[in-house]
Amino acid sequence: MTVTGVYGTPPAELAEAPAGSIQFSPLIPGSGRLEDREEGALSAMVLLAPPGTVERRYTVALALRALAPGGVLTVLAPKDKGGSRLGKELKGFGCEVRETSRRHHRICECERPPQLAGIESALAEGAPRVDDGLGLWTQPGVFSWNRLDPGSALLKRNLPALSGKGADFGCGIGTLSRTILSSPKVTHLVMLDIDRRATEMAARNVQDSRAEIRWADVRSGLRLSGLDFVAMNPPFHDGGAEDQSLGQSFIRRAAESLRPGGVLWLVANRHLPYEGVLKPLFKRVTLRAEAAGYKVYEAQK
């Protein structure tokens, strides 16, 4: 039986994954774990490579390990997001690469060679580890993987002792959840994130029977109601339109999940227009802190 894989959602006009391919992206809830695939188990793989160098080399190394010798690997990425380095990276793993360019992407194809070179170091560099500075389990590729995000730091400093049951939307590796759970009055905390690796690190960092960790998309994989609080540092990127709407969805989901009188604690980049979304959904919106380009809001439903 031939088993094929796909990682992410490559544009179909650039590289098409065979029908029935198993999805392996950690950013798509429910996907398979490429880390667990037996060596040589896949006959072909199409991979939309992630932008971070360490994460990309790790993912490509996992894909090559999972492929049978002679199995075809197609790797693509936008040129300015690692695509221009793909060919060299694949050659470094011992592959003979055919490379084309289309629609600002670099597309590389190769057969998995019988002998791979240097995948162990790529696998070790991209693997989970304890970061001494953070004092937490983390992995290259997850949000702010080796430093505390300044927005999260501001929210942690301003968060009061919360109580009852609540949620941390986009919990990452669990830094905010650890602060929330330091309050003994918190009875239950749902921690959810769309990144499987983040939830796995969060499970190592937050070993607390009150915590329930879910690998889910806040926009769709959620059935929460009657919560006393929600805390979050919603995803954004350079204020791009798409990411603003993602943050706005987080706010709407929080409003739906809270009981009347429940509170949302939110930190956001100062330039993001979240007040306009908060005000119609919440009874009271209060700016609680502002520093280093970030704002912390408390919004009561």
Ligand X SMILES: C[S@@+](CC[C@H](N)C(=O)[O-])C[C@H]1O[C@@H](n2cnc3c(N)ncnc32)[C@H](O)[C@@H]1O
Q: Residues in the site for ligand X, rule: CB under 6 A?
A: 143-144, 149, 152, 170-172, 175-176, 192-195, 198, 217-219, 233, 235, 246
Of 165 and 196, CB closest to ligand X: 196
Of 43 and 158, CB closest to ligand X: 158
Q: What is the DSSP string of 117-183?
A: -SHHHHHHHTS-EEETTTTEEE-BTBTTTTS--HHHHHHHHH-----EEEEEET-TTSHHHHHHHTS
Of 171 and 186, CB closest to ligand X: 171
Question: Taking the complex as a whole, how short is the minimal distance between the CB of residue 227 and ligand X, in angstroms?
Answer: 16
φ, ψ for residue 168, nearest 5 deg: -115, 105
CB neighbourhood size of 284 (10 A): 11
Name the strand (E) or helix (H) holding 228: strand 227-232
Residue 16 backbone zone (phi > 0: left; psi -120 to 50: alpha; other: beta): beta
Question: Taking the complex as a whole, how short is the minimal distance between the CB of residue 277 and ligand X, in angstroms?
Answer: 16
Of 10 and 174, CB closest to ligand X: 174
Name the strand (E) or helix (H) holding 99: strand 98-102
Question: Taking the complex as a whole, how short is the minimal distance between the CB of residue 29 and ligand X, in angstroms?
Answer: 8
φ, ψ for residue 78, nearest 5 deg: -55, 145
Question: Taking the complex as a whole, how short is the minimal distance between the CB of residue 52 and ligand X, in angstroms?
Answer: 13
φ, ψ for residue 257, nearest 5 deg: -85, -20
Question: Taking the complex as a whole, how short is the minimal distance between the CB of residue 159 and ligand X, in angstroms?
Answer: 11
Question: Taking the complex as a whole, how short is the minimal distance between the CB of residue 45 and ligand X, in angstroms?
Answer: 23
The two beta strands, 186-193 and 164-169, are parallel
The two beta strands, 186-193 and 211-215, are parallel
Of 25 and 152, CB closest to ligand X: 152
Question: Taking the complex as a whole, how short is the minimal distance between the CB of residue 296 and ligand X, in angstroms?
Answer: 12
Q: How far apart are CA 132 and CA 288, in angstroms?
A: 31
Of 61 and 159, CB closest to ligand X: 159
Of 87 and 151, CB closest to ligand X: 151
CA angle, residues 254, 260, 262, in degrees to nearest 5: 55
Of 44 and 159, CB closest to ligand X: 159
In angstroms, the Cα distances linking 42 to 165, 186, 200 are: 43, 45, 24
Question: Taking the complex as a whole, how short is the minimal distance between the CB of residue 131 and ligand X, in angstroms?
Answer: 13
The alpha carbons of the chain give a radius of gyration, in whole angstroms, of 21
Point out the residue whose Cβ comes nearest to ligand X: 170
CA count, 13 A, side-chain hemisphere, 267 = 23
